[in-house]
Structure 1
Amino acid sequence: MRVYKAPAGDIDIPPVDILSLLFDDNSGQAREATKIHVDAAHPINSITKAEARTLTKRIAYIFRHRYGIGASGPGRDVVLCSLYGSPLAPVIFYGVVAAGGIYCGLSTKATVGEVSAQASSSRASLLVCSSECAGRMCAAAGQSGITDDRILVSDSSQPGAWSLSPAATAENLLSGSETLDWTTITDTSALDTTTICLLYSSGTTGLPKGVKISHQSLVASTVCTMQPSKEYQEKHPGFSFDTVAHLPMSNIAGIGLYSVNPFYMNGTTHSTDKKYWMKKYNFDEFIDIHRRFNPAYQFSVPPIWLQVAKSDKVTNHFDGLQVASTRSAPIGFDTIKEIRGKLGKGKADIYQTWGITEATGVVTVHPWEAFVKDGTWSVGQLCPNVTLRILDESDNDVPEGEPGEMLIGGPILAQGYLNRPDADKEAFGNPSGWYRTGDVGVCKDGLIWIVDRKKELIKYKANQVAPAELEALLTSHPQLADAAVIGVWDEERQTEIPRAYVVRRDLQPGSLSDANAISGSDVADFVKSKVSSYKQLRGVVVFIEQIPKSASGKVLRKDLREMAKHESLKPKL
């Protein structure tokens, strides 16, 4: 068996729960008076570590004593949260965990049907949302058997007057003084088995599945993936882990990259480490925040970095940036040079990572200074304590430097999927102890390159789109006989976009005429009316006579991808 490990070796991971790591453990670097979360639009609206500790305990008390979250034991009760970016959003996450509950992220763009489906799938017993999402949450609650009194609306727009109120009343539950201390956990078995977070992902195939993340996996991910940051700080004493939070709280970026990592990395010699929260992403606001606050670090996704590079609006906005990071899709070597020209006066260090929800975020990190030093542009080295195997189609280890499917192991792995033993066996249990990423890659001289994506998942910007979900919707249309969806690359936007291949139903004599047959625009509009904006068919709709399938009935997506290479279809952007 050929097993790859981090070149620098493993590091010690504190045997402690995530809240104790952030608020109490010596390895966490935040100080009591540091403003750990700041409203980008109104910087006076912020919260310090000390204030966050008290508010976390207050929210935990509310969840436990008013709604029973965690009353029957930790890791059982799911709190479904649809939250826009704000200083209160991460504290609600802390509060759910402190109460003994499971934080379940939900997109703020989710339709009523999508809210209801995730509430039912996760078996959520309490809903928490920003005010803009309240109407959809209330409508979905009725479909899921959740009463209105178990829907809480959060508001942190007014400094000093943050609120968490039942949807049906104006009562501010945060106004009370009772608190609940979270339980410090040091038992390794409990850390590994207690679920604290449920994030929906498509895994390697199929409809979205709830990924169960434990204390151990989030703590390990935090400590191991932040090791390169600590090493960078040692070499650059003036570096501080300031950043702008602009990706959603419904995925691992909002939890790991914004709610946890910068908090953990607040060095004692740096008084300005903080996260500036955007309510939702807007390019003009994003670049303006960078010019006003000069954060030193920024993670984002390729479409946003490309927009930075191409926009004439960007002048000196990113002059203060010292380190930039990208993930979710590859960026070409020439493009990355163009992007870097706009960052830190052309001197910023820039790197890329590779990661997945099932590994609690980041798996590899490109050494932060490697691109500037020698032009190396891989997805980096394995993070400490992470192991990797690369297998061929017969599950044999390939020689070093040869491509194969990448399997990962280590304490960063999630526990598996919620109520999906079939998916668990396929992704986590074969072979046992390893997760099949579905990505094809190469490892050579300690560096990893992604060659191709084996999985069906489409990544549109920072969002995940499951082909099976859209296919189920398309085939529900009375005028469509069959459908398949693939991701096609949009060079202009530097992201994948969904393209649908559909088969019309045979026109019966005396029924519809060709003139009245469903059009591509009709199909796209039908999907648009049913799902979130990021799932729309921007890659256009193609009508074909038959969907290519294997003898067992599986869609042959490789045939469709080959077909797409020869199509000159303009995407719907």
Structure 2
Amino acid sequence: MYDGNLSALSLSSESSGWREKLNMLKQRREAKPAPVLQFSAPTPSPSQPTSMHTPLPQTPQTPSDTAKDYARIDEASLIESYQKPGHTASASRNSHSSRHKAATSSTFSMRAPITSRECLQRATFLKERAHDYLQESRALLDRASVMAYQEAEHSHDKARRREDQFSDPNTAAKAHFHFTLDCDSPYRQQMTVIKSIFSDADIPKISLFDHILPQEQSKNSSVVYVDAQTGRCLTISELRRDALRLAYGLRKYHNIGRGDSVLIVNHNSITYPVLFFAVIATGATASLANPANKHLEMSHQIKDSDISFVFANPDKIELCSIILRERGWSENRVSDRVVSATENSPRSFKSYAQLLCNDLQKGVPETFAGEDAHSVAVTCYSSGTTGVAKGVMTTHYNLVANLTQLDWSRAYSTQKSDVVLAVLPYYHIFGLTSLLLNFLKRENMSVVLPRFSLEAFGAAVEKYRVTLTAVVPPILHSIAKEDVERRHGMSSLKILNVGAAPVSPKLIEQIGEKFNSSVLVSNGYGLTETSPVTHKLPLEYARSHSGYIGRMLSNTTARLVDENGKDVPGDNKSSGELWIKGPQVMRGYLNNPQATAQCMTSDGYFKTGDIAIYDDQTFLFKIVGRLKEMIKYKGIQVAPSSLEAVLLSHPQVNDAAVIGVYDDRQVTELPRAYIVPQDAANFDNQVFCNEIEAWVADIVANYSKLRGGVHTIDVIPKTPSGKIVRRHLHMLAAQQHIGLAKL
């Protein structure tokens, strides 16, 4: 068992280089001595005999004059120390022995008198040092898994070459991970499959309800949800009890069950999990809607999902009622089956609390064992950045698989004591899986905010001592630009998990500077179609590889396919469209088999539409563009996200988006930027726009210059998750009569 002694760790003979790096770590750590906190006893007088119980005199140490001796060494700094040149193993050993020499019994013995402050300081130091050892062990375990993976693949490759030689001596050994398979094209071609470094996890085929809230949770009194505004709490046992009571009511009074689709349109609240799990327990499908939807979007979702029951926020009850009447529902049916998602309800409508029932109902909770686990549990609607939103059919198996993958791949480094801020909307797949389900499964306490505001965010972090949260780039941008940390104590915050939309390394760097590197920003990647997580960046790479989305989760494979249909190498520079295959990939688009066929290959790969590169040395992926958003300037592809990252680094640019506009004279697309100035005086200021254009031209390659011009705009149109809605900008460009935007 690992007891905290670094010298006790032993790796295989091939890992001697890793041991040398570990010695470098020791060298760096021993260069920073512990705070003196001199606890040694006074020197005995010559007449006093020295015994085993009398401490020997110690050389006085000089106390550290800064608090940084107590700073946590996170995994990122560990990796940096491993790679720091100029250290030798012998120096590390000398340093190591000197520390243990200093840490004799007399060092920790008590002198008289001793103050409580010294005791507290020493206890704090030892606590932080214990944290260091824990982080080191995590980094070593991660490295050990990578090494084991490399060794196994090396052996596999060697065996394959030997087999090839026996079968055909004239055939050259095939490259690593290369197979010849039938693809969508009429001919056979070489396919490069990238595998996860993690071993496959066993994924149970059960219902989502039984996976998260099994019978044994009925007596669990752990608090898992707290209302940030009122302080009301919800324990796991209360959640399970109320969800089942509501499910009994839905079954008894409205016969809701398999085949039904129930709309939930509400802001985050501690009631939301009760509504969600009640629908899941009945066997119905939960159709999750954005409360900001207007008539057009809400009508489309209600029709597409064939909604049979509605839980709505009070301010959306009227809109849902109008749409359902338009679909032919009678007045009685509307008042009976449109229910308030809160304890308050307007006029003749009921509250969900009135449906709570204690009468057990047969088949509740519904079991989805075996192949039944592939039944649809949730339909979230894609953001619709390029057209009408599509309903994504996510099964029980998809969600159980993704939760299992997150745990098996150690995607989130959390402890029971961590407090999570649930600010992302639960109706979005990122908020649903990463916040509502993932941290509930881990039994972490989630502080729930109904909607994001920077002041509410800061106040919640301060009041509840929040340690981690999940955010989208717009929230990260607000934190970086505003001085919320000066108005609220945010020292407890340690990790910001970011996803759902691309985030620039510059923005992550600004967060690090703002919080003096005490907050790590860990990137990730996923889509609504993948339930959603496929990649997560390990914490040790959070600073050194901030622009990367991370490693694939377990049970996942990927391909990078260029525009000619060929797979690209993992050289950290060759790019291709990212294709994903795994148990988290959706069942398909609801009522849209044509769209499903367009994005899925015959062998089960989902075409993400994102352009990525892969580094086969670190096993990290990086998104470099979006296939449908790429701008072609005279045949050369230009990624809007790269130009946007450059623009956002300018101090006078608050937000930015780039699109391609077609120029008839040059017969090509030209990159055009729309920016939100930091200073309101620069709106519609052509001189300012020209200066920004010239500034970018000095930074980027010739083909990436903003030849389509720079224009100011009040706000960049985005989805709630932070994705830029470029079709709105294309329409704006078309109206400006300066080139015809590509629609």
The TM-score with structure 1 as length reference comes to: 0.74
Runs of 4+ in 1 over 4 A off after TM superposition: 162-167, 169-172, 202-205, 228-231, 486-490, 492-501, 531-540, 544-548
The residue type equivalent to 1:283 in the other structure is L
Q: Does the 8 Å CA contact 2:588/2:596 hold for their aligned counterparts? A: yes
Which structure has more relative contact order (CA 8 Å, sep 6+)? It is 1
Q: Does the 8 Å CA contact 1:242/1:262 hold for their aligned counterparts? A: no
Per-residue deviation, 1:185: 2.9
1:303 counterpart residue number: 474
Q: Aligned with 1:407: secondary structure?
A: strand
Of the candidates 388, 400, 406, which is equivalent to residue 207 of structure 1?
388
Q: Aligned with 2:566: secondary structure?
A: coil
2:221 counterpart residue number: 33
1:50 partnered with 2:231: no
Per-residue deviation, 1:163: 6.5
Take 1:547 and 1:5, find their aligned partners in 2: how far apart are those partners? 45
Q: Does the 8 Å CA contact 2:503/2:547 hold for their aligned counterparts? A: no
1:105 counterpart residue number: 288
Q: Does the 8 Å CA contact 1:241/1:265 hold for their aligned counterparts? A: no
Structure 1: gaps (5+ residues): 156-161, 267-272, 458-485, 502-519, 549-554, 558-573
Matches within 5 A, 1:89-238: 89-146=272-329, 147-148=333-334, 149-155=336-342, 162=343, 168-169=349-350, 172-180=353-361, 181-187=364-370, 189-192=371-374, 194-201=375-382, 206-229=387-410, 232-233=413-414
Q: 1:317 to 1:174 in 2, by over 3 A?
A: farther
2:7 counterpart residue number: none
The residue type equivalent to 1:191 in the other structure is A
1:400 partnered with 2:573: no
1:416 partnered with 2:603: no
Take 2:655 and 2:373, find their aligned partners in 1: how far apart are those partners? 39
2:430 counterpart residue number: 253
Q: Aligned with 2:230: secondary structure?
A: coil
1:332 partnered with 2:504: yes
Per-residue deviation, 1:313: 3.0
The TM-score with structure 2 as length reference comes to: 0.58
Q: Aligned with 2:539: secondary structure?
A: coil
Per-residue deviation, 1:346: 3.0
2:255 counterpart residue number: 68
Per-residue deviation, 1:434: 0.8
2:154 counterpart residue number: none
Per-residue deviation, 1:302: 1.3
1:293 partnered with 2:474: no
Alignment size in residue pairs: 471
Per-residue deviation, 1:229: 4.3
Q: Which has the larger radius of gyration?
A: 2
Per-residue deviation, 1:368: 1.8
1:454 partnered with 2:635: no
1:270-308 CA deviation, whole Å, 9 max, x = no partner? xxx211111121111111101111222111011211211
2:209 counterpart residue number: 19
Q: Does the 8 Å CA contact 2:501/2:721 hold for their aligned counterparts? A: no
Matches within 5 A, 1:416-495: 416-428=588-600, 430-444=601-615, 445=617, 446-455=619-628, 489=644, 491=648, 492-494=653-655
Of the candidates 538, 545, 548, which is equivalent to residue 378 of structure 1?
548
Worse-superposed segment, 277-286 or 132-141? 132-141
Q: 1:455 to 1:537 in 2, by over 3 A?
A: closer
Take 2:200 and 2:655, find their aligned partners in 1: how far apart are those partners? 35
Per-residue deviation, 1:171: 8.5
Structure (1/2) with the larger strand percentage:
1
Q: Aligned with 2:358: secondary structure?
A: coil
Take 1:274 and 1:239, find their aligned partners in 2: how far apart are those partners? 8
Q: Aligned with 2:425: secondary structure?
A: coil
Take 2:355 and 2:226, find their aligned partners in 1: how far apart are those partners? 19
1:47-91 CA deviation, whole Å, 9 max, x = no partner? 111011111111111222222221xxx3x2111111111001122
Take 2:199 and 2:736, find their aligned partners in 1: how far apart are those partners? 52
Q: 1:409 to 1:94 in 2, by over 3 A?
A: same
1:209-262 CA deviation, whole Å, 9 max, x = no partner? 1000001100111111234547734xxxx5644222222232102321222011
Percent identity for Structure 1 against Structure 2: 24
Structure 2: gaps (5+ residues): 1-190, 631-639, 663-683, 685-712
Q: Does the 8 Å CA contact 1:4/1:388 hold for their aligned counterparts? A: yes
1:403-430 CA deviation, whole Å, 9 max, x = no partner? 00111001000100001010011012x3
Per-residue deviation, 1:4: 1.1
Q: Does the 8 Å CA contact 2:557/2:581 hold for their aligned counterparts? A: yes
Take 1:127 and 1:364, find their aligned partners in 2: how far apart are those partners? 34
Matches within 5 A, 1:264-275: 264-266=441-443, 273-275=444-446
Q: 1:291 to 1:143 in 2, by over 3 A?
A: same
The residue type equivalent to 1:324 in the other structure is L
1:318 partnered with 2:476: no
The residue type equivalent to 1:381 in the other structure is R
Q: 1:197 to 1:241 in 2, by over 3 A?
A: farther
1:165-201 CA deviation, whole Å, 9 max, x = no partner? 99535784245322443123331x1112x00100111
Take 2:404 and 2:352, find their aligned partners in 1: how far apart are those partners? 39
The residue type equivalent to 1:291 in the other structure is E
1:133-156 CA deviation, whole Å, 9 max, x = no partner? 22222222212233322101021x
Q: Does the 8 Å CA contact 1:303/1:494 hold for their aligned counterparts? A: no
User: Over the residues paired in the alignment, what is the CA RMSD in angstroms?
Assistant: 3.5
